[in-house]
Structure 1
Amino acid sequence: MNKLIALICVISWAGFWSFGYLALSASNFEDGQVILAAALAFAGFITGIFAYMWLVRAKPVDYRRVTQGA
């Protein structure tokens, strides 16, 4: 299940960055296309945040092992 959530997280962030770029760099697009790109970027952002938070809560980092070099 964690691999599926991680895959959703990666795809969501990729969609956020790609559609966000399209929305911000649009010069010859119509208003509807820019709004659709911005909405898809927002959906990717929200999905990416929730997927990341799901992963963080599912497997917290044990800082004692990290600092000891185990």
Structure 2
Amino acid sequence: MMKLIAIINVIAWSGFGAFGYLALSADGFSEPQMVTAALLAAAGLFTGIIAYLRLAQAAELSGYAQKSNQLSAAERNRAQQQGSI
């Protein structure tokens, strides 16, 4: 499953780069073609971000990546109470 998400991630970022470039540098295209390229670039951006975050989450859960240094809710509340006046 992670390989599929990694492939989707690569394809999404590639689509974002290609269609984003077309949307920004299009001189001879009509307005509907530029809007279509911009929408495809946006879809690639959002899909790439979601796939990347899922891969990062899976890497933390599997132990492949280090866990983030986030405090638990109880530790965070205790630290905020100690720091307040």
TM superposition score normalised by structure 2: 0.72
Which stretches of structure 1, 4 residues or longer, exceed 3 Å deviation after superposition? none
Aligned length: 63
Aligned pairs (5 A) from 1:1-70: 1-60=1-60, 61-62=65-66
RMSD of aligned Cα (Å) = 1.0
Unaligned runs of 5+ in 2: 68-85
Q: Distance in 2 between matches of 1:44 and 1:62?
A: 28
- Which is greater in Rg? 2
Relative contact order, CA 8 A, sep 6+: which one is greater?
Answer: 1
TM superposition score normalised by structure 1: 0.87
Amino acid in the other structure paired with 2:39:
A
